[in-house]
Chains A and B, each alone.
Chain A
Amino acid sequence: MSTTRPRYAEEAPFKIHGGCGLAGICDESGAAMSGERIILAMAVQRDRGNGLGGGFAGYGIYPEFPDHFAFHLMYHDEQAREEAEALLNEHCVVDLAEPMPTRPVKGIADAPLLWRYFLKPLPGELERLELSEEDLVVRLVMTINATVDGAFVASSGKNMGVFKGVGFPEEIGHFYRLEEYEGHTWTGHNRFPTNTPGWWGGAHPFALLDWTIVHNGEISSYGINSRYLEQFGYRCTLGTDTEVAAYLFDLMLRRHGLPLELACKALAAPLWSEIDRMPEAERELMRSLRAVYGPAMLNGPFAIILGFNGGMVALNDRIKLRPLVAARSGSVVVVASEEAAIRAVVPEPDAVWMPKAGEPTVARIEGMPWPIHGDLHLSPSEVSCAVLGTEDVCDEAVEVTA
């Protein structure tokens, strides 16, 4: 079972969402736009949330630090900050650490300490642990989230960041002064938790490395998704079902090197009856995808937007149990829970359509690399224990002896 830090025990084991609103906007030409636009798209969908969580992800927002990992952290108190910073300094060179720029906003209260760091993993650490940069960052994020009480990593990618908290999204957006940022891709989320009050870390987007997920729905397969991910070293500690989607994309795209469209097919798998009717080569591929990634399949109602450095992908569940609308206006692609949100930012789109169940809607920035790292770790046992400084479970000998 996944662990939850005691301070957020009321959130255990994962949040149930009633409804949510989401939006994503991407200028495929790579032209930057201010965060104001995504705030507007979310403000239109105010009724899809209840003020207990709002958030945004922006890409291309830190051009002055394009090769640094930008860590956005939330702290309950100074002690948590000291502990987390000790971990960061142990494994990385931190070139800039500063409090997150914010402004007082009516309706936003009880903000945690918000800091951001621009860092690079120490080369010596990469050699010592025999890890790639990304793997070390993943371990660092998992370690802070799982072991530092009162600290939470909101985002950890390059040239991107997540800005989220408890409040309506437009309030959160202004609190973080998003109008001062410029990015080529933005996603936003308005949360409607159905039981306990939200906590800042529990708002969307959920992020790991460059991947961010905003999600409307409920992942009914969370139990097996999280247990599957644990095999590969991921620790689901955030008290929400959405984090599994971020980790699954990281696993399939970065570590297994699957093409994006196939990863989407694994998460929102075609029905067996469809697969059986496919041409042989495609049928064999889809059979293998479903059989191998069955535990990764996201089941239940969902609409998600995956953001990454290079664009975004919007995806519905296999039988489209949650709303998702898409539109294009020139080089700008917009997706949202409601058409009204789209028309708020693109008044007269060239085309508006309803993506089909399980069919990804993709926006890609021209000239930017597609998210495949080719950095393959095909065996889960290679990265069997993601938390730094703990015993590797694989050291335990199999007790069946000759």
Chain B
Amino acid sequence: MTERLWSLVEALSASPTLAIGLTLGAFFAGNWVFARMGRPLWLPPVVLAAVMLSATIAILPLDYARYQDGARWLTVLLGPATVALGIPLYQQMHHIRALWRPILCTLPVAATLAAVYAVVIAWALGATPEVLASLAPKSVTAPIAIGITEQLGGSVPLMMGGLLITGVVATLFVDLLAGLLPVHDERILGFALGLNGHAVGTARAFEISHTAGAFASLGMGLTGVFTALILPLVFHL
């Protein structure tokens, strides 16, 4: 009986349904625990969900390669999801027009430095080229960053981990520096959150205000496009 139960996972993982079910389950569980914990800034639901999902995969007689194979049915949607980001970008166009000069001057400098600071520091500490390629898109929203890392020859799992940490610490640093500098303009705070902290920062910006959220989406979208266009060209030189 126990043996039959154990081989059940083997049989069920023959179709992608098990991997999809596990991912969906962890997604909802992560959101639930996050709400229960009082929505802590430093622990976003995606981290909770990922930890729970990893633990489940580790416990079950299911290896990561097989899980990933089944979950590919979900990851396929990342392509159309990236295209979908063009719609809020279009809808934020009036914000760009209102503040286009500061945005256009800051974006190329700040988005480039977001990648350069991390790559230079990691390089100075002896990281391999694969690690550098995985760290370069750390401030870019995940669906775009996956494409960039694949182009550069980095490791997608490492990039994803770095991306999450970047989102969380960018949110904490924006909160900290807003008080120290001081910066109170919600548009600037939102833009900084989206530019440095992609989706995690944008979620935080929407908690501040709708304007901050709009500027964060804008910062996230523009950083994604800019980095996707520039990084592969720079890395190929």
Q: Does B bind A? A: no
Instruction: Give the interface of A toward B (CB within 8 A).
Output: none
